[in-house]
Amino acid sequence: MMHRKAIATYLLLFGLTYCSWAQRHVMPQAPRNDVKATFLSIFSGSSRFTYERALSPSTSAEVTFGAIGLGYDMMNRAAPAGVVLKGAWKYNLHSATRGKSPLNGLYLKPELIYANYRYDDKPSHAPLEKDTPRSHTIRWALMAEGGWQHCWRWFLTDIYMGLGPSWGDINAHNYYHGIMLFPKGGHLAFTAGCRIGIAW
C-alpha cells in the first residue's frame, strides 16, 4: 500500500514538473523585458540604449542611458561628449490579455530627461579650428509622451513623440540629444523617435 502511494506521489510530482516545463518551453510566456536602441541617434553624435520591464499587464518602467560622443554628429559636427539619462513610467492603453505581451500597444508616459555634455561652439558647417571654444550644456526636461510599441516574437519596434517643459543651459545648435526647443531659447521641448530592439 505504501509502495503504491509513493509511486502515485512520484507520478504527481513528475506531472506537475512536466506541465511547468511545457508551459515555459513548448508554449513560452509573452515577453516582459526588452532592450532597444534609438534608431539613427548614432548619426546625431550619441548612442542611446533603453531597458524596459513590464510591472503589470498595463504598466512598465523604462531607463535609458546615452553615451554622447559615441557616434558621428552629422548635423552639427560639434564633437559632443557627455551623457544623457532618461527615466519613464509607461501606461499601456490596452491591458495585456492571456498570451499577449504587456509590452505591446499604444501607451502614454511621463519621462524625465537629463543631458550633460560639452561640444564645439561654432556654426554648424564652419571649418573646425584648433582654438574652437568648447561649451558645456546641462539640460532637464519633463516630457509627456505617447507612442506605439509592438513585439514580433523577439523583435520589437517603438515609435514615440512628446512635448514638455525644459530648463537649463541654451545650446548654440538647439539640439540636446533627445529634445529640441521651440522656440530656440524657450522652455517648450519636443521629442520624437523610433527604437528597435529585442524582447524576452
Beta strand extents in 125-177 (DSSP E only): 134-152, 155-168
Confidence of residue 112 (pLDDT cuts 50, 70, 90): very high
- pTM for the full predicted model: 0.81
Between the two ends of the chain, the Cα-to-Cα distance in Å is 47
Q: How far is CA 199 from the centre of its chain?
A: 12
Residue entry with cell 516582459: 32
Beta strand extents in the chain (DSSP E only): 33-38, 44-54, 59-73, 81-92, 105-120, 134-152, 155-168, 180-181, 188-199
Name the DSSP class of 75. Answer: T
Confidence of residue 23 (pLDDT cuts 50, 70, 90): very low
Confidence of residue 123 (pLDDT cuts 50, 70, 90): low
C-alpha to C-alpha distance for 21 and 24, rounded to whole angstroms: 5
